[in-house]
């Protein structure tokens, strides 16, 4: 290093060791008079001392710096360059890109004539490259935000004493306008652009800018009548007060949700109304049922009372006609005897009918028919039935038989009177609806109905009569139903017998079944368990259970 201008060693050392680069170029050729270490480091191995710049740094000429030097030399005006780019070739031929901050300072003689140029500056390549990289990456993000469907913007928040809190759009993407519905926003302050905007937005973005806490929320912008989903975060340095905002218009989604909620609410109201209506009609039904039950009870009561009243005179009539028929004084003509017989038989029929009506009335009103259980005497039962039907069989010229299995349970408990009532009803039907052939009753133990063999007894009434169609079999057990209403005249009856029989059988814990084919005859089976049901129940309770 040559000492050209400096006198003291200290001065010389200061220049030489400075991190800034210095050189003195004497004009007009710009010969290197001096260059410090930092300068020499820029142009290694070039030996500049005493040589013109165009030889030492030919790159300066080709990149316009020689012109600049000439200009300073000619005009005497200082030149300042910031981050000036220059490409230098290393001795190995490798090209280096540098950015330099420098000053070309003219040095004048006593006459004011420029005689040399003092070059001083610093290498800012690192900083500049970092800036370029930053710009490039910012550019990348900008491109990214430009291409998304979401609205994107950067706002600068102003929160200064004496001024209204406000923010200004300093960057927006393409989707911004469509998503926000705000036009020409760039560069504008919010209070000026949208005077009606709620304070919420100002405060929210101010908080993000101040605290650096990102926020994510959904909110309505009343002035725009739109709903937004927003994500806002601080960018850059805190003092810049910059907030980036990503947002989308969710108005449609919110409206859909509101509609959905409303239709839910409407549905709920409808359900409530419907429930109330149902409850009302339920109450009406209950009331109607209560009225109907009261009416039915009244009817049953009348029927039951009337039946009782009828029985007394009827019994007298039957008794007296029986006495008359015996004709002890033998003073009745055959015709008169026949009349008496008719009176007796009609009285019997009428009594049966009254008994049936009374039973039915009791069944209908839910009053328990009294069941008196005791051990059944099979012989007695057979005798009773035989006595009742032998004469009828003979009169109708029908075969009649009663078959009793030898292994009938010895201790069979039932209500004999009610059992007889059922069997007699079935047998009298069998005789009534059979013109020729036979009627029979078979009583046998029924094996295999449960674990114990012989735990039930079957009473089977078979006839070879007119039979009952499948259709009619479904209704004959209902009160007042006859298989063929057209038959009423031909076969008298009330349609009560089977209904009463079924109730009685059920009360005895058993079942009654029918099998029949029109024209071929019918089979009625009554099956009674040997073990009685736990408690005697009223017909109504039984029906409910059934
Ligand atoms: P009814 O007083 O009419 O005999 P029931 O309740 O005893 O009343 O019988 C109902 C109807 O069932 C009868 O009207 C008849 O049509 C039919 N029915 C009952 N038993 C027989 C039978 N053994 N053969 C043909 N039809 C029968």
Any atom of ligand 1 within 6 Å of the Cβ of 466: yes
With pLDDT > 70 as the criterion, what percentage of the chain qualifies? 90
**Which residue in 509, 481, 475, 507 sits closest to 494, CA to CA?**
481
Lowest mean pLDDT among 362-376, 403-417, 445-459: 445-459
| Predicted pLDDT at 366 | 65
Pairing state of beta strands 399-404 and 438-446?
parallel
pLDDT band at 544 (very low <50, low <70, confident <90, very high): very low
Task: Answer with the residue of higher pLDDT: 195 or 306.
Answer: 195
Sign of CA dihedral 65, 67, 70, 75: negative
In the predicted structure, residue 537 carries a pLDDT above the cut 60: no
* Gap from CA of 243 to ligand 1 centroid (Å): 98
Query: Among 424, 465, 476, 522, which is best to mutate for testing ligand 1, by the most ligand atoms less than 8 A from CB?
Result: 476
For residues 439-455, average pLDDT: 72
| Predicted pLDDT at 482 | 63
pLDDT band at 285 (very low <50, low <70, confident <90, very high): very high
Closest residue CA from atom 9 of ligand 1: 495
Lowest mean pLDDT among 134-148, 420-434, 530-544: 530-544
Closest residue CA from atom 2 of ligand 1: 493
Q: Cα–Cα distance between 468 and 492 in angstroms, integer? A: 16
Query: Among 392, 400, 429, 438, which is best to mutate for testing ligand 1, by the most ligand atoms less than 8 A from CB?
Result: 429
**Which residue in 142, 117, 130 sits closest to 66, CA to CA?**
117
Can you tell me which atom of ligand 1 is nearest the CA of 481? 10
Helix axes 497-507, 416-432, angle to 10 degrees: 150
* Gap from CA of 104 to ligand 1 centroid (Å): 137
Lowest mean pLDDT among 124-138, 207-221, 315-329: 315-329
Any atom of ligand 1 within 6 Å of the Cβ of 522: yes
Q: Kindly report each contact of residues 253-260 with a partner whose C-beta sits within 8 Å and lies 24 or more positions away, as own/partner.
A: 253/227, 254/218, 254/220, 254/227
The residue to which tokens 């605290």 are assigned: 211
How big is the chain, counted in residues?
546
510 touches 524 (CB < 8 A): no
22 touches 13 (CB < 8 A): no
How many Cα neighbours within 13 Å face the side chain of 153? 27
Most confident of 7-11, 292-296, 313-317: 313-317
Task: Answer with the residue of higher pLDDT: 109 or 146.
Answer: 109
* Gap from CA of 524 to ligand 1 centroid (Å): 11
With pLDDT > 90 as the criterion, what percentage of the chain qualifies? 52
| Predicted pLDDT at 542 | 40
Can you tell me which atom of ligand 1 is nearest the CA of 434? 24
511 touches 505 (CB < 8 A): yes
* Gap from CA of 452 to ligand 1 centroid (Å): 34
| Predicted pLDDT at 546 | 31
In the predicted structure, residue 539 carries a pLDDT above the cut 50: no
Q: Cα–Cα distance between 484 and 491 in angstroms, integer? A: 10
* Gap from CA of 527 to ligand 1 centroid (Å): 19
Q: How many helices (H) and strands (E) does the chain have?
A: 16, 17
- Report pLDDT digits (tens) over 131-162: 888 888 888 887 888 888 889 999 999 999 98
Can you tell me which atom of ligand 1 is nearest the CA of 500? 6
For residues 171-190, average pLDDT: 89
**Per-chain mean pLDDT for the chain:** 86
Helix (H) or strand (E) holding 197: none
For residues 280-294, average pLDDT: 90
Any atom of ligand 1 within 6 Å of the Cβ of 151: no
| Predicted pLDDT at 458 | 95
Q: In what order do the strands lie in the sheet with 114-123?
A: 31-35, 21-26, 114-123, 95-108, 79-89
Q: Cα–Cα distance between 185 and 189 in angstroms, integer? A: 8
pLDDT band at 512 (very low <50, low <70, confident <90, very high): very high
Any atom of ligand 1 within 6 Å of the Cβ of 496: yes
Q: Cα–Cα distance between 460 and 516 in angstroms, integer? A: 13
Query: Omega of the bond prior to 259 within 30 degrees of 0, cis?
Result: no
30 touches 65 (CB < 8 A): no
pTM > 0.85: yes or no: no
| Predicted pLDDT at 540 | 44
* Gap from CA of 530 to ligand 1 centroid (Å): 28
| Predicted pLDDT at 450 | 45
């Amino acid at each position: 290093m040559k000492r050209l201008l400096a006198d003291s060693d200290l001065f010389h050392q200061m220049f030489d060791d400075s991190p800034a680069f210095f050189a003195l170029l004497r004009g007009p050729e710009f010969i290197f008079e001096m260059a410090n270490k930092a300068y020499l480091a820029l142009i290694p191995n070039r030996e500049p001392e005493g040589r013109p710049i165009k030889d030492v740094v030919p790159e300066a000429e080709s990149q316009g710096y020689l012109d600049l030097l000439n200009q300073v030399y000619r005009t005497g005006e200082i030149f300042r360059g910031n981050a000036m780019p220059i490409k230098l070739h290393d001795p190995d031929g490798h090209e280096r890109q540098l950015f330099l901050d420098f000053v070309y300072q003219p040095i004048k003689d006593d006459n004011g004539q420029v005689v040399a140029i003092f070059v001083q500056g610093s290498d800012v390549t690192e900083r500049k490259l970092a800036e370029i990289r930053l710009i490039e990456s910012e550019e990348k993000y900008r491109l990214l935000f430009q291409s998304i469907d979401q609205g994107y913007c950067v706002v600068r928040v102003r929160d200064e004493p004496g001024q209204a809190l406000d923010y200004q759009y300093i960057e927006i993407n393409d989707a911004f306008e469509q998503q926000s519905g705000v036009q020409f926003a760039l560069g504008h302050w919010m209070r000026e652009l949208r005077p009606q905007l709620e304070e919420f937005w100002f405060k929210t973005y101010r908080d993000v800018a101040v605290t650096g806490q990102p926020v994510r929320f959904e909110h309505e912008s009343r002035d725009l009548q739109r709903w937004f989903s927003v994500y806002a975060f601080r960018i850059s340095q805190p003092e810049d007060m910059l907030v980036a905002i990503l947002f989308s218009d969710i108005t449609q989604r919110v409206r859909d949700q509101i509609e959905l909620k409303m239709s839910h609410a409407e549905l709920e109201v409808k359900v409530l109304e419907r429930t109330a209506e149902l409850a009302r009609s339920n109450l009406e039904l209950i009331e109607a049922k209560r009225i109907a039950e009261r009416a039915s009870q009244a009817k049953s009561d009348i029927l039951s009372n009337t039946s009782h009243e009828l029985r007394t005179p009827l019994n007298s009539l039957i008794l007296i006609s029986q006495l008359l028929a015996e004709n002890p004084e033998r003073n009745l003509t055959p015709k008169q005897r026949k009349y008496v017989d008719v009176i007796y038989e009609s009285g019997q029929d009428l009594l049966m009918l009254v008994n049936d009506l009374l039973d039915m009335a009791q069944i209908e009103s839910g009053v328990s028919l009294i069941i008196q259980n005791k051990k059944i005497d099979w012989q007695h039962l057979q005798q009773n039935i035989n006595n009742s039907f032998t004469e009828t069989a003979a009169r109708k010229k029908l075969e009649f038989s009663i078959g009793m299995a030898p292994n009938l349970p010895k201790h069979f408990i039932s209500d004999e009177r009610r059992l007889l009532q059922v069997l007699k009803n079935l047998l009298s039907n069998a005789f009534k609806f059979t013109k020729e052939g036979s009627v029979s009753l078979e009583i046998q133990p029924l094996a295999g109905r449960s674990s114990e063999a012989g735990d039930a007894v079957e009473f089977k009434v078979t006839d070879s009569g007119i039979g009952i169609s499948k259709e009619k079999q479904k209704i004959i057990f209902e009160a007042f139903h006859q298989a063929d209403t057209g038959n009423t005249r031909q076969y008298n009856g009330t349609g009560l017998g089977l209904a009463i029989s079924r109730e009685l059988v059920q009360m005895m814990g058993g079942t009654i079944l029918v099998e029949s084919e029109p024209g071929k005859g019918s089979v009625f089976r009554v099956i009674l368990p040997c073990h009685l049901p736990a408690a005697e129940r009223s017909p109504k309770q039984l029906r409910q259970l059934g």
